[in-house]
Amino acid sequence: MSKQPEDCAPLARDPLSAAQAGELAALFKALADPVRLRLLSLIASQAGGEVCVCHLTDAFELSGPTISHHLKVLREAGLITGERRGTWVYYRVRAEVLGRLSAVLVPAEVPA
């Protein structure tokens, strides 16, 4: 095996197993839509760590059912959780899942 140049640090300390790659691919697939990526960003950036769906729908020029579909995809992928309070649902990002995603993208060693 040839040595990598210093400016080409590996993306991870250890290669992913087939099972890990499958799990992560499903998460990345759920994020591979501009609306879902924006929704996740909006949820993650809220003070207090959660946001009412009523505030999310105002940020898009999309129908409520379309926003609900995208939130369902994110929820089923395990990226967010939702809690119903009265007539509204409040969403929160699952930080541990985002941590798993980011760990794959952060180089094992960052060159100085």
What does the pLDDT average to over 65-88? 95
14 alpha carbon, distance to own chain's centre:
22
Q: Look at the domain 18-105 and name its fold.
A: Arc Repressor Mutant, subunit A (1.10.10)
Q: Sign (positive/negative) of CA torsion 22, 28, 31, 32?
A: negative
Q: What is the pLDDT of residues 58-74, one digit of tens each?
A: 889 999 999 999 999 99
Please tell me what DSSP assigns to residue 28: H
Q: What is the pLDDT of residues 24-48, one digit of tens each?
A: 999 999 999 999 999 999 999 998 8
All structural domains of the chain with their residue ranges: 18-105
